[in-house]
Amino acid sequence: MTGFAGASRPTPLGLLNVELRTVNSRFLDLALRVGDELRNFEPMLRESIGATIARGKVECRLWIQRQAQAVAPRVNDDALAQFAALAARLRQAVPDAQPATVADILAWPGVVESAAADVDAMVAALQGALKEALDALQASRRREGDALRRVLAERCDAVEAIVAQLRPRVPEILAALDRKLGERLNQALTPALAGATVSREEIVDRIRQEVTLYGLRADVDEELKRLATHVTEVRRVLDAGGAVGRRLDFLMQELNREANTLGSKASAIDLTQAAVELKIAIEQMREQIQNLE
């Protein structure tokens, strides 16, 4: 599911900022954008985000916003004195040497000390900001999930309505098919067997067998029952909550299989139209399920 959240905490180095963005993905795809001074916290970020989010393309940004009140760098007097002593000895040994510039002095190791941040304080600030951002992100994703659940429930209603309309019509459709097929077989076989030794009763019995066999192959009651069962399972999974995306993906495959079978068995325009409507509703559900975790 899509979502956005951010949080910040003050630290000795400045304002620590965490920003999270998520978009749809079948698996967890985590990308970190972390400032150089915060690279050591990448494992903590991955562990915390992976423990909270199971599915989606997640981008996490972590950076320090420097502030005027943050502790400024300072000059280390001991290191500066050591540099001055070495420079004096160098001038004695090499009188023609160029004097050191300010840049040379600042570049000398240890002369300038950056503010040393308390590691425990930084960890606590990061944990607090990350938890706040994750909580806000999950709340946003839950709101989107509730909206998607309502959409999926409406599509389930549509599938159930199609099945409910078809069930009373199936016996009538099969009966009409039996009559039509019986008439055609009778018209085709009777003249051809007029001079044969086969009796009228045997012809009628053979026609009845063929009609019955075709009727069994054209019966869609089993497919309608399985469609209703799968829809019931979709509702149960949605009501249970949690990470439901993969389970619903599988159920969409099963629903689509039954709709295809229904279409292949269609012996009347009613069944053909119903199969098309079912496939549209199932495809609409499948597209929305790609947004669920």
- CATH no. for residue 11? 3.30.230.10
Residue range(s) defining the domain that contains residue 44: 3-69+119-140
Structure-token pair, residue 272: 């053909």
Same-domain check for residues 103 and 159? no
Q: CA-CA distance, 133 to 61, in Å (whole number)?
A: 11
Q: CA-CA distance, 132 to 136, in Å (whole number)?
A: 6
Same-domain check for residues 159 and 249? yes
Residue 260's closest CA among 278, 235, 244? 278
The pLDDT assigned to 195 comes to 59
The pLDDT assigned to 269 comes to 74
The pLDDT assigned to 189 comes to 63
Same-domain check for residues 152 and 85? no
The pLDDT assigned to 182 comes to 62
The pLDDT assigned to 125 comes to 92
Weakly modelled stretches of the chain, pLDDT under 50: 216
Same-domain check for residues 80 and 132? no
Same-domain check for residues 273 and 147? yes
Q: Which residue has the tokens 């039996």?
A: 178
The pLDDT assigned to 129 comes to 94
Same-domain check for residues 178 and 251? yes
The pLDDT assigned to 218 comes to 55
Same-domain check for residues 8 and 96? no
Same-domain check for residues 169 and 207? yes
Same-domain check for residues 94 and 59? no
Same-domain check for residues 225 and 271? yes
Same-domain check for residues 134 and 58? yes
The pLDDT assigned to 31 comes to 93
The pLDDT assigned to 101 comes to 85
For strand 74-75 and strand 112-113, is the pairing parallel, antiparallel, or unpaired?
A: antiparallel
Same-domain check for residues 172 and 279? yes
pLDDT in tens, 192-246: 556 556 566 666 566 566 555 555 455 677 788 888 999 999 999 888 877 787 8
Q: How many domains does the chain have?
A: 3
Q: Judge if pTM exceeds 0.75.
A: no
